[in-house]
Structure 1
Amino acid sequence: MGTFQNKPYGQQNVFSPLAAQAKKKPFLYFGLPFLGIMVAGSFGLAQLTQTKFDHRDRRHTKVAKEDALGMDKNRRKLSLQEEYFRLQADADDEWEQVRIQRPPGSGEK
């Protein structure tokens, strides 16, 4: 069975001087990473927002092409209230109550 090496607490390594400077100057430890994340996030969000607006503009140009072709000249205006009343009137007249076949042995006839 192998043995573990005996490493005393607080042993010096390559980054020890840098860590000591970071502890003395909190800007290097907290401020610089924070500013880096804010700047990188700003560029990332700007790219996502630009993509969103480009997609929306592309969709609106398709509608503009339909208008240029004159496709909506003969369309009637849509009113939700009129459609609701029309569907309500149709639903009352065109249905018939039909009893379905019961499975055998269900007890009802």
Structure 2
Amino acid sequence: MPVFQAKTFRRATTASSTIGERIGASYRARLPRHPFLLFGFPFIIIIVAGSFALTPAAALRYERHDRKVKQLSQEEAISLGLKGPDGEEGIKRNPRRRILGDEREEYYRLMAKDLDDWEQTRVQRFKGEPDGKL
């Protein structure tokens, strides 16, 4: 039986092997000896560079959002009918302010309630709706 040689097989470089193949073979041969330098460090550099590259894109996104939600000037508000000519609010008001009125009145109304004396009552269910009783 023939004896195998101790040398490892290396493909002969031919004219058909491209520069990319030679660089790749050299990279793969050196990677086990210097894994951080050849893999980890370039990875970290790409992540940091990508962060800096995406910063202007994020800024553009927020600027576009700000343009949509910009505050209206007095003249624009009057022209859109949001404020009357005298400066008072027009059609669109804060619905919560209309319901509650003054916050102080609501606060004192809640403080006047007796929160210690209450009774738990069941809510009437719709017909056919399970009431949770066994």
TM-score bucket (shorter structure): 0.3 to 0.5
What TM-score do the two structures reach when normalised by structure 2? 0.40
What TM-score do the two structures reach when normalised by structure 1? 0.46
Bigger proportion of residues as helix: 1
